[in-house]
A and B are shown apart, each in its own frame.
Chain A
Amino acid sequence: MKWEVVIGLEVHTQLTTKSKIFSPASTAFGAAPNTQTAVVDIALPGALPVMNRAAVERAIQFGLAIGANVKRRSVFDRKNYFYPDLPKGYQISQMDLPIVEGGVITIQVGLETRSINLTRAHLEEDAGKSLHEDYQGMTGIDLNRAGTPLLEIVSEPEMRSSAEAVAYAKALYELVTWIGICDGNMSEGSFRVDANVSVRPVGQVELGTRREIKNLNSFKFLQQAIDYEIRWQIETIEDGGRVVQGTVLFDPDKGETRMMRSKEDAHDYRYFPDPDLPPLVISEEWIERVRSELPELPVAMQARFIEQYGISAYDARMLTSSKILAAYFEATVAAGADAKLAANWIMGDISATLNREEKTIADCPISAAALGALIARISDNTINNKTAKDVLKKMWESGATADVIIERDGLKQESDTGAIEAIVDTVLAANPKAIEEYRSGKEKALNALVGQVMKGSGGKANPAMALELLKKKVG
């Protein structure tokens, strides 16, 4: 039987506010336990929540960036459940009237572009942390994270493979970090993904029974967990079993998902509007101000790059994978580099070296201006491409500019016809067979000789000029 996979994602993004969503405690990561809590966060009786304007503004930014409906009026609800890292006994969230409804994220898988619709995005507070190491047989609770603002972003179940789910999660990640509402630090839990996965026979209209994989904090785990879950569900059904709706956890060491709780045990959250918080009303003026302050978004920037710089759609997409990379590219071009060469160098040698050294473009030791100056020396024929790679390596290590290194190491390309001619003559004299082959119609025979001329010049000959001279002499 052929199976179709159905995936929807729920992503919790921590918003980049200085203080918590309902209290004036700091949200900074890594403080000593329970030193960043206010009366609201530890739920002292009578403490009342007061909404953080910046958290609302981040949600508006997101809604506008995905073309969603930013609700002029939304409501906060209590989601009741018992767990010690939630001292109030309920999480403040939004159920029936979330701040953002709808919207679209465009993803690219291979050559195919797809639009994934979003259901909603709502504001809520994070819970604290439970530490299960042995504290006299008890559990330790740190409430520093309790009350950190979250935007939970829910997609429609429109993804059909783990590759699409990862592409969606990455596109979303790129967007929230691009507009600056989330710092994107996945190891600190700033971007956490839950995946709802089900399978159904191809052609069947109703959805299969889904299981929800909780709390995936890397794209690799997201892919592995979904792939495992799909195989497990198909095998279970084909072996005559049935999938029971429930929540599962992914164990990265074993590469497996395992049941945490079934639907029978599902919490009944008893949602109701929080009497402490009247409705959130957002004015047109506020929305228009946020709209006017939004940066150019990746999709728009890609289109502009293709149009303005004449680079390929693929290059434009790669260069806009982060705002800082896009800025680096534009600064390189502004410093005098040819745009296509700049794209090739940034995605080639620069990216490769950064990867090898486990750095990001933000820590690149070569500034965009310095790279631009190097590329300009290729375009004006001062050095050839191969020499440029060596110069780049030296720039990386020493921090010197391209011009200084070219001058110091005598790397200037030899474009003096006389000097190259002498080398060409020597090479031709030593290779009568290649000449014969070329004359009998084998065009390629001379290419090998260009290499020898380059070698004879210590790599400094202009290869195009060498080929031209060879042809002239033989022809």
Chain B
Amino acid sequence: MSLSIDDVQRIARLARIAVTENEVIESHKQLNQLFSLIEEMRSIDTTGVEPMPHPQDMLLRLRDDVATATNRREAFQAIAPAVENGLYLVPKVIE
């Protein structure tokens, strides 16, 4: 698998990263080098090997359903850049 210049531009747009034309060309080259490394790893035969979703062989710990958290809004909002009426304020977003 390899990426096209268009792919790189699209990824940059989705990641909200502004890139210049030169950066696109440079990133394109670097990303495709990465892909060739991945290609090499993919050439290993893993038939019959169960994929590991987690590097450690552990099971998920479960907790009882009890609401013990107290209201710490004041402490949390003390480090927020802008708040009003208990809300965090962020730059206007309307999708």
Instruction: Please name all residues of chain B whose beta carbon is closer than 8 Å to the beta carbon of A76 when the two chains form the complex.
Output: 60
Q: Are A273 and B53 in contact (CB under 8 A)?
A: yes
Q: Which of A26, A97, A135 contacts B53 (CB 8 A)?
A: A97
A34 near B73: Cβ-Cβ < 8 Å: yes
The complex places the Cα of A38 from the Cα of B66 at a distance, in Å, of 13
Residues from chain B with Cβ under 8 Å of A33 in the complex:
85-87
A52 at the interface (CB under 8 A from B): yes
**Residues A107-157 near B (CB distance < 8 A):** 130-132, 135-143
Given known A-B contacts A36-B71, A82-B16, A278-B56, A138 and B64 have beta carbons under 8 A apart: no
Quote the shortest CB–CB distance from B78 to chain A (angstroms).
12
A25-B85 CB under 8 A given contacts A278-B60, A280-B60: no
Give CA–CA (A24, B70) in the complex, Å.
Answer: 9
Do B73 and A51 touch (CB < 8 A)? no
- Choice from A32, A34, A44, A273 contacting B77 with Cβ under 8 Å: A34
Indicate if A368 sits at the interface (CB-CB under 8 A). no
Within the complex, the shortest CB–CB distance from A15 to chain B, in Å, comes to: 10
Is B35 on the interface with A (CB-CB < 8 A)? no
Residues of B within 8 A of A34 (CB): 73, 76-77, 86-88
A24 to B72, CA, bound (A): 13
Nearest CB of chain B from residue A444's CB, rounded to whole Å: 66
| A38 to B72 Cα, complex, angstroms | 8
Q: For A53, give the chain B residue with the smallest CB separation.
A: B62
Let me know if B44 is at the binding interface, CB within 8 A. no
- Give residues of chain B (48-95) contacting chain A, Cβ–Cβ below 8 Å: 53-56, 58-69, 71-73, 76-77, 82, 84-95
- CB-nearest residue of chain A relative to B91? A138
Are the CB atoms of B89 and A135 closer together than 8 Å?
yes
Encode A8-42 as 1/0 by CB contact (under 8 A) with B: 00000000011100011111100011111110001
Chain A contacts of B93 at CB under 8 A? 83-84, 130, 139
Given contacts A50-B63, A139-B89, A278-B59, contact A268 B11 (CB under 8 A): yes
Residues in chain A near residue B14, CB distance under 8 A: 267-268
Chain B residues near A32 (CB-CB < 8 A): 86
B69 in contact with A38 (CB, 8 Å): yes
Q: Which residues of B contact A50 (CB under 8 A)?
A: 61-63
- Say how far B10's CB is from chain A's closest CB, in angstroms: 8
Knowing A261-B95, A267-B14, the reply to whether A142 touches B73 (Cβ < 8 A) is no
Which secondary structure characterizes the binding site on chain B? loop
Check A135 against B69 for contact (C-beta < 8 Å): no
| B60/A53 in contact, CB under 8 A | no
Q: State whether A24 touches B85 (Cβ < 8 A).
A: no
Question: Given the complex of chains A and B, what is the CA–CA distance between A55 and B64 in angstroms?
Answer: 10
B84: A residues at CB distance < 8 A: 135-136, 140
Question: With A34-B87, A261-B95, A268-B14 known to touch, is A54 a contact of B76 (CB < 8 Å)?
Answer: no
Contact B62 A138 (CB under 8 A): no
> A199 CB to closest chain B CB, in angstroms?
26
A52 touches B90 (CB 8 A): no
Q: Is the CB of A143 within 8 A of B88?
A: yes
Bound together, the chains give a CA A268 to CA B7 distance in angstroms of 12
**Is B87's CB under 8 angstroms from A24's CB?**
no
Asked whether, in the complex, the Cβ of B89 is within 8 Å of the Cβ of A138, the reply is yes
Cα of A290 to Cα of B60 in the assembled complex, Å:
19
Closest chain B residue, CB of each to CB of A137: B92
Contact A52 B89 (CB under 8 A): no
8 A Cβ contacts from B4-18 to A: 11, 14, 16
Interface residue? A297 (CB, 8 A): no
In contact, B63 and A37 (Cβ under 8 angstroms)? no
A56 contacts B by Cβ under 8 Å? yes
Asked if A279 and B95 make an inter-chain contact with CB atoms under 8 angstroms apart, the answer reads no
Q: Is A435 interfacial (CB-CB < 8 Å)?
A: no
Residues of B within 8 A of A17 (CB): 65
Cβ of A419 within 8 Å of any chain B Cβ, yes or no, is no
Residues of B within 8 A of A97 (CB): 53
Given known A52-B62, A278-B54, A279-B60, contact A138–B82 (CB-CB < 8 A) = yes
- Bound-state Cα–Cα, A138 to B88, Å: 10
The residues of A with any CB-CB pair to B shorter than 8 Å are: 17-19, 23-28, 32-38, 42, 44, 50-56, 75-76, 82-84, 97, 130-132, 135-143, 260-261, 267-268, 273, 275, 277-281
* Residues of chain B at the chain A interface (Cβ within 8 Å): 11, 14, 16, 53-56, 58-69, 71-73, 76-77, 82, 84-95
Given A50-B61, A50-B62, 15 more A-B residue pairs with CB atoms under 8 Å apart are: A18-B65, A19-B67, A24-B63, A25-B69, A33-B86, A38-B69, A51-B62, A52-B63, A131-B87, A132-B94, A142-B87, A273-B54, A278-B53, A278-B56, A279-B59
A sample of 13 inter-chain contacts (CB < 8 A) reads A19-B65, A19-B67, A34-B76, A37-B69, A37-B76, A44-B76, A50-B61, A138-B82, A140-B87, A141-B87, A142-B87, A267-B14, A273-B53
Across the A-B interface, the 4 shortest Cβ-Cβ residue pairs: A140-B87, A54-B65, A33-B86, A26-B67
